Structure 1
């Protein structure tokens, strides 16, 4: 099959290229805009309590105002506010309200909005949109800060904005233009490394252009699929899509070009060399892509809409990349022929593979030692997972000098931390009739007696069947303590206090985070095992073996633990962070396990091929490592370097993400794929290929195209 695909693309190169260009421009022009949302509550299933609260509130209190941000005022000497200061607070608030900011409904304060200790005053910034992360609203917050500065001149006051919209703005600005940073770093790494490997400006630049076309096609298909199937893509999909496309795209192009160059060295004509390259390496590329696609599609089993939408989007992008690697890349390079390598002539020479030979010889001679050391290193790093502590407190990752962080600290010095995002408790009549005022007051007293925070008087909705109460928690709304309280004791107390014929529900930001945590834990126990089983099936089909997939997946699991554990050791251990990004295991799964499995597939496919060619286990290990090290190393450095750029960000959660993936990819490539897997394969011997290959003695290779070959088997050097 892969031979036919290669021959067709090489025979009709201009038609193949034209088809891709037309598809790219057609999808850009005709595909709908990709919708996105940053409201995590939109991604939770309807059976979660926080989602039910939101729906009840929309029905019973459709006109309810909720501050998108809060302006915090305090004296520059941190003393109690004087009557003159309070008058200045009212004056500044009134001036800002009259300024008329886009999507800001009103800015208001009151004499009651002063803290009990008299040091802090508040003003609410009420938005006319529900989403506090709306880009236009964030621009208004930025403008509001600028206009507030001159209004404070001549007073003893300082002011800072905090709350959802202000936090989102500061997080965005502290992260910088992450997408652009990732894109530029990726382009530089790809161009520089491909230029070093092939010593050709054409080969350095063409993959970037090819992946650009693939990006347009994939983006259009994802937007179309989202429109047709009603999917919502999280705002982070764009940045992740860039990394996935350039990561796997560069991998697959390298796989093909290394084999193509090998065929040219053997004296084949360019078109025949490319046809044979696709025929021989196509199954490896397809299997690697299949493993990644299956891993991404497993996210469809997630209970979180964020992950369910991300899975198909990333699977589509990898599928498009696979098709491009087998059609567009062969078409372009078959037209260029040997000119693709201009001006270098080094590609004609056989490299020495000095480092690869040394590693291969050591692993072949001392497989037990290599397996023990490499496996031991991964196991020690993986032990860090035992102390992994997830956190939803995005604000804790921001620099301490940001306005929203400073303002929050000031607010907490005079008010409960939950002032910015109250926890909402709704009491809903489940039987016919309306709530009695006595029932509402009795419920309020029981809720207040629980001592979880200040409880506002109950407000009955227009329909008379719903009352709501704002609970101002003592803990910061996004903190672990607040989440534990809301999901446990507070909900239990509210449920127990509900009078007969009614029900109590607890919602708000903290409840949303608590429900997301529950959903994520459920997903981890379901998605990961099913994805692992599916990848095992793909490995079994590729290797024609029922033995090798088992120890390969065990190695992958160890690599996953090592990547996550090493991040825990660094950030929780050495840096003393209270917790790590709660989505970190999913991120490591997506990039270290899914994409990193490519390197394992390359190595075991090459090992099996060497055995089929007649090599014994030791020689197969020696030759496979020698001729695969360059490709695996180059591909891993490009992908790891792309994520490593995130270490430059000021946001510690981006730093955690960058380190976990970059270090995880390097571990997968250089420790697992090049050391652990071939060493274990040597120890198991021919039994690793059962029932396909049963003997460790040399025998002729089977007729027809070779099953596959790791791309670095082209005898190329870095």
Structure 2
């Protein structure tokens, strides 16, 4: 090793120049950590996490969608919004849409665009109104941050008295990052000031602090550049990376420099030669620095095996520790050689040349040597109650991390007050099926799942393809349809009652009509009998007419004969008159002739009349016969009519009975419908929750409303859909996270019951993501803690050549951690009223306390081993405590000072981590290093170290040999 220090001594100025160039190049050429942090998501979920898988599924809903993040403009006025307020917001909406390419936005949505969603955009009391803005890039993308800054300026011209704030995922992310960066700047300045002040107090020289400050500053710049470059290759970084780099490098690096400078000062007092003093310094404390830095490096390197990206981001500190160790072994020695004794100006080497032994630590060493068991028991008993205060309460509320007066926080709280906190960050359930859900059955299954989720107590409303506005489409629910059916059944029941009454009236009228019909039957029967009599009379008349006709014919023939006789007699008389002229004049004869001629004419007329009578009778007789036949037919017809009337009377009687039976059946039907209506119990009035049925006609899929819902909530192939669950409680709260599993399970079980077997159901969103983080971080904590403990155990075992010492050192670190966390949780939860410690605090406090606290053990135990002789444990420990106690306290104050700067960062997580580190370092340095660890070492005696070969020479002999060489 002496050759190495000779090289450093010969090229000490070149070493300084190389470090300056390296740091300058890393700062100017390599990417900065902050630029990389701005591009990465704050939580950095594992790629195989459910939240990441859910986001991948949701991207399939609309692969061509340009929106990747969002913001919300919240306007409010006490007493109610004025018309001018709404006009201003409408004008902003129209203007931003016109300038969307210039502003870098995708779309703007207000109640003016979607009147049916007015309840989602305007509060019930009319005091608050929302406007959502979709952005094309993720929250942490620089383009998104530029857009948010532009929108913040755009809302600066609001009407007087109108409160306007920009909130949502993108604005919250921006202001969280700004708060972190501002806190980091404060931390940087305070760290340098505190370290400088402590160094001035420790060295009482304006020159000596120059060595650690330059060493750590250049190593920090170099490591920050390397980490920034590595981040572009995939190394996880976060806002914690740079904060921890500053605190750990300035704290641990300064501690190492103090250790070397104090020993260098001590060695200069013994041998004024700088190189000789440096060689002796590095021969003794050099190994301590290497082992101490190695524990920190190994601890932070093993963080890289964590599953959670935010935890992994601490691995950058390992890079910083490697650079710091290299600087401690090259740059710091070069500066010490350049400055030499002048480094301690105005003090002289020789007066107080060494750090001196601490009287307080010497007394503590004596007490521990005399009563180690009592001291150990007293220490454990005093600290154990503190461990019982640690309940593991954690808070995942990012909004609580930053100033509540920031616009994004005020806007969020306003939405939380007037609408629901879940409006900004709903729980999104991604559903992926192996068949299309763009069917009536598929959408009905989604509705069943939506209804199941809506039944959970913490859920305000559910939005899905079946309820795009947060409420189910009433017209398509069975309850609504049943209500309408009930109305129809009631109408039918009324109609049945009326028909039944009408049938009963008809039956009564029919029965009344049967009596008249029976009288008609009797009349027809009587007429038939009368017609039979008339027929007989007519037949007799017809027979008489035929007889008269014959008689008339005979009479006509007789009259004709008589007429012939009379004409003959008249001719005879005429002949007689001719023969006897005298007779012609005889009056008697003339009279006789006249009579004869009159008789002949009369007979002729009689013959003609009889013939006419005969002709009339011949005509009348057939008519009378026909009339007789007609009367017979009429009688038959009357008899048939009577029989038909009798038959009709029977049928009418049956009809009346049938009508009464029909009326009775209708009455039974009416009673049945009444029972149905009574059994349904007014389901329509009781609401859709009493029946989850859903009926969607295939034709409804073509409606404009359903098409819009399908396009927004379901992928084109129908195999992917989402269900948005809006919580009624703060989405960051532990209570909200406790409902995620219940929501997911309700959706999965409902889909399975609806026949959608094997569907992939995953939860996404802020609440689901942090709920998943609870499990991930707990597992990561256990795994990485075991790795860190194992790594430190190996380093301690190799350094101390001991198996027992690493065990009780690690046990002391564990007890210190739980005591620290108990006190920390009491301060912030019980005293200050926080719901819990920030969720990363327990992990980082453990990591830093173990990684850095073990340095103090190394300081003490390395000196203890150096002083140790078999059988002289108590003396060696007393000497080690007296010699290193001041160094440990100085190192503790420096490390605590760097982390105390976190208290002014303005970020709750850093404040809590800083507080925990300060408490833990004070406890470990003063209590565990001053009492517990020395007590255990004294109790173990020679069992502290492995005895290999002959006993090692004592410290005095080694020091004498060193001086002689």
TM-score if structure 2 supplies the norm length? 0.67
Q: 1:626-649 CA deviation, whole Å, 9 max, x = no partner? A: 111111111111111122122234
- Partner residue of 1:711? none
- CA distances 1:401-432 after superposition (whole Å, capped 9, x unpaired): 4433333332123323211122222222335x
- Determine if the alignment matches structure 1 residue 497 to structure 2 residue 750: yes
Aligned match of 1:90: 90
Give the SS at the match of 1:36: helix
CA shift digits 1:43-81 (9 cap, x unpaired): 32233221111112223323163652222222223x4x5
Q: 2:340 aligns with which of 315, 334, 337?
A: 337
Corresponding position of 2:715: 461
Change beyond 3 A, Cα 1:38–1:365: farther
CA distance, structure 2, for counterparts of residue 615 and residue 588 of structure 1: 38
Change (3 A) 1:107 1:615: farther
Separation (CA, whole Å) in 2 of partners of 1:653 and 1:371 = 33
2:830 is the counterpart of 1:573: yes
1:374 is matched with which residue? 379
Contact preservation (8 Å) 2:195, 2:897: no
Hey, what does 1:123 align to over in structure 2? 131
**What is the match of residue 54 of structure 2?**
53
SS at match of 1:469: strand
Q: Specify the alignment match of 1:304 in structure 2.
A: 308
Equivalent residue of 2:419, what SS?
Answer: coil
- Residue 795 of structure 2 corresponds to which residue in structure 1? 538
CA distance in 2, matches of 1:368, 1:670: 18
Displacement after TM superposition at 1:322 (Å): 1.0
| Secondary structure of residue in 1 paired with 2:722 | strand
* Structure 1 residue 671 corresponds to structure 2 residue 927: yes
Q: CA deviation at 1:400?
A: 4.2
Does the alignment pair 1:429 with 2:430? no
- Alignment partner, residue 642 of structure 1: 898
Find the counterpart in structure 1 of residue 876 from structure 2. 620
Shift of 1:176: 7.0
Q: How many residues align?
A: 694
Please name the residue that 1:20 is paired with.
Answer: 19
2: CA distance between counterparts of 1:693 and 1:121?
83
Could you tell me how far apart the structure 2 residues matched to 1:392 and 1:664 are? 23
Give unpaired runs (5+ residues) of structure 1. Answer: 709-718
1:656 corresponds to which residue? 912
- Corresponding position of 2:218: 213
Deviation at 1:108, TM superposition (A): 3.3
Alpha carbons of structure 1 residues 305 and 437: separation in structure 2 relative to 1, 3 Å: farther
1:547–1:687 CA contact under 8 A, matched in 2: yes
Q: 1:593 aligns with which of 839, 850, 873?
A: 850
Inter-partner Cα distance in structure 1 for 2:389 and 2:178: 32
Greater Cα radius of gyration, structure 1 or 2: 2
Gap change, CA 1:12 and 1:706, over 3 Å in 2: farther
Q: Within 2, Cα distance between the matches of 1:662 and 1:480?
A: 28
**1:552 aligned to which of 805, 809, 832:** 809
Structure 1 residue 551, shift from structure 2 partner:
0.8
Q: CA deviation at 1:510?
A: 1.7
Report the 3-state secondary structure (helix = DSSP H, G, I; strand = E; otherwise coil) of the residue aligned with 1:152. Answer: coil
1:320 aligned onto 2:320: no
Structure 2 contact 212–258 (Cα < 8 Å) conserved: no
Q: Which one is further off, 624-633 or 334-343?
A: 334-343
Deviation at 1:398, TM superposition (A): 4.0
Aligned counterparts, 1:386-405, within 5 A: 387-405=391-409
Residue aligning to 2:613: none
1:606/1:624 contact within 8 Å kept: yes
Tell me, which stretches of 5 or more residues in structure 2 are unaligned?
A: 466-712
Q: Distance in 1 between matches of 2:939 and 2:26?
A: 51
* 8 Å CA contact 2:70, 2:168 repeated in 1: yes
Provide the residue aligned with 2:677 in structure 1. none
Change (3 A) 1:645 1:98: farther
What whole-Å deviation, never above 9, does each CA across 1:339-378 have from its counterpart, x for those lacking one? Answer: 2222222663254633333333333333334323333333
Residue 204 of structure 1: aligned partner: 209
| Alignment-derived partner of residue 712 in structure 1 | none
**How far did residue 297 of structure 1 move?**
1.8
Partner of 1:148: 155
Shift of 1:298: 1.8
**Contact 2:46 2:307 (C-alpha < 8 Å) held by counterparts:** yes
CA contact (8 A) 1:200 1:343 kept: yes
The SS at the match of 2:209 is helix
Deviations 1:471-530 (A, max 9, x none): 2122222221222211x1011112223313532222122222122222101111211112
Asked if residue 478 in structure 1 is aligned to residue 756 in structure 2, the reply is no
SS of residue in 2 equivalent to 1:319: helix
Structure 2 vs 1, CA of residues 60 and 274 (structure 1 numbering), >3 Å: closer, same or farther? same
Aligned-partner SS, 2:461:
strand
8 Å CA contact 1:563–1:663 kept in 2: the answer is: yes
CA distance in 2, matches of 1:553, 1:117: 60
Q: 1:25 to 1:469 in 2, by over 3 A?
A: same
Distance change (3 Å), C-alpha of 1:428 and 1:25: same
**Pairing of 1:221-370 with structure 2 (within 5 A):** 221-228=226-233, 230-311=234-315, 313-345=316-348, 348-349=351-352, 351=356, 353-370=358-375
1:163-206 deviation digits (Å, cap 9, x = unpaired): 22333344455567212211111211222222222222221123
Q: Is 1:73 equivalent to 2:75 in the alignment? A: yes
Per-residue CA distance 1:212-264 (angstroms, 9 max, x = gap): 22123222332344445x32322331222111211111011111111111111
Residues in 1 aligned to 2:31 and 2:192: alpha-carbon distance in whole angstroms: 27
Give, in whole Å, the separation in 2 of the partners of 1:648 and 1:253. Answer: 26
The farther-off stretch of 143-152 and 254-263 is: 143-152
Q: Secondary structure at the match of 1:65?
A: coil
Q: 1:377 to 1:344 in 2, by over 3 A?
A: same
How far apart are the structure 2 equivalents of 1:186 and 1:84? Answer: 51
CA contact (8 A) 1:133 1:164 kept: no
C-alpha distance 43-137 of structure 1, shift in aligned 2 (>3 A): closer
CA distance in 1, matches of 2:961, 2:386: 35
Kept in 2, the 8 Å contact 1:382–1:565? The answer is yes
Q: SS in structure 2 opposite 1:348?
A: coil
Does the 8 Å CA contact 2:223/2:319 hold for their aligned counterparts?
yes
Give the Cα separation in 2 of the matches to 1:424 and 1:619. 66
> What are the Cα deviations for residues 437-462 of structure 1, in whole angstroms up to 9, with x where unaligned?
53134223322333234222322223
For the 8 Å contact 1:421–1:477, the answer to whether it is kept is: yes
Is contact 1:399–1:650 with CA below 8 Å preserved after alignment? Answer: yes
Aligned to 2:767: 510
Q: 1:55 is paired with a residue of what secondary structure?
A: helix
C-alpha deviation, 1:29, in angstroms: 5.3
Aligned positions of 1:134-213 closer than 5 A: 134-135=141-142, 137-138=144-145, 140-153=147-160, 157-172=162-177, 177-213=182-218
Say whether the 8 Å CA contact 2:265–2:349 is kept in structure 1. no
Question: In structure 2, what is the equivalent of residue 10 of structure 1?
Answer: 9
**Secondary structure of 2:235 counterpart:** coil
Matched residues in 2 for 1:254 and 1:537: separation?
A: 26
Q: Is the 8 A contact 2:430 2:720 kept in 1?
A: yes
Are 1:333 and 1:340, in contact at CA under 8 Å, matched by a contact in 2?
yes
Could you say if the C-alpha distance between residues 326 and 394 of structure 1 is closer, same or farther in structure 2, counting changes exceeding 3 Å? same
- CA drift of 1:435 comes to 4.3
Partner residue, 1:114: 122
Secondary structure of the 1:73 match is strand
In structure 2, distance between residues paired with 1:357 and 1:170 = 51
